[in-house]
Amino acid sequence: MRSSDNRTIRAGKAALMTLGAALMLTGCSSYDEIMMDEYRPVSVQERFPIRVEKAAVKMGVAAPTGKLKPDQVNGVIAFANNAKTAGLSGITVKYPSGSAKGRATANEIARVIAGQNIPRNMIHVESYAAGAGAPVQLSFMRKVAITTECGDWSTNVGFNYENEPYPNFGCAYQNNIAAMVANPEDLENPRGMSPVLAANRVQVMKVYFDNKTAGDYYTLDSVTGN
């Protein structure tokens, strides 16, 4: 074989090796680009997930005379019942440290709460730093459903050529859903099935068995009345 042929073969092998290396590098680059593409949440539920947290429910009672008025008694009773419904963890009654009448009001409130079948060891009466004109503060902890606050208008929707959801899209919807949840614990665990109401069941079965046209609703006779 001539030396020129050997040089041609060696040059061809070198070109093939160079091409192969370039293809490998291109493949790696494409693979890296694919792997680096991060997932971005699109749905409203993903971008604004509803979570359940504990928060304080508070009420203030102003009683400058040291005694509760009838409407204030009703308000304290309603507050205590709400605490029981929310899964009572204890009610705290705080009175202003600089007011003897505030302390008397707090003790009366504690008696009203205890009258709603709430154990005394779950009613905590204590003081807080404030003057004589400050109200008595009632509070208890309950679970609430919340999500991210709204107001992110960082994106100019006029230049959203990809038609992707803007940051604030669906936020108000999720916040409204969270606010309407009657029992936030339903989002964590399903409720047990309630017992059947016997009176309703008996009435429904009676209508079913006494109905003379049962099974005949879609015939021509039942439509025309013949």
Which CATH number goes with the domain that contains 182? 3.30.1330.60
Is residue 89, in this structure, part of any structural domain at all?
yes
pLDDT per residue over 163-186, tens digit each? 888 889 999 999 999 999 888 888
Is residue 81, in this structure, part of any structural domain at all?
yes
Is residue 49, in this structure, part of any structural domain at all?
yes
Contacts of 213 (CB under 8 A, 6+ apart): 222
For 181-191, b/e burial (b = at least 16 CB within 10 A) is beebeeeeeee
**Residue 167 structural domain:** 41-150+159-188
Strands 51-61 and 136-146: antiparallel
Please give the pLDDT value at position 156.
87
Q: How far apart are CA 17 and CA 23, in angstroms?
A: 10
| Alpha helices (H) along the chain | 3-35, 44-47, 70-85, 100-114, 171-180, 198-210, 220-224
Is residue 69, in this structure, part of any structural domain at all?
yes
Question: What pTM value is reported for the model?
Answer: 0.57
Is residue 33, in this structure, part of any structural domain at all?
no
Q: How far apart are CA 183 and CA 225, in angstroms?
A: 49
Is residue 103, in this structure, part of any structural domain at all?
yes
pLDDT per residue over 71-106, tens digit each? 999 999 999 998 988 776 789 999 999 889 999 999
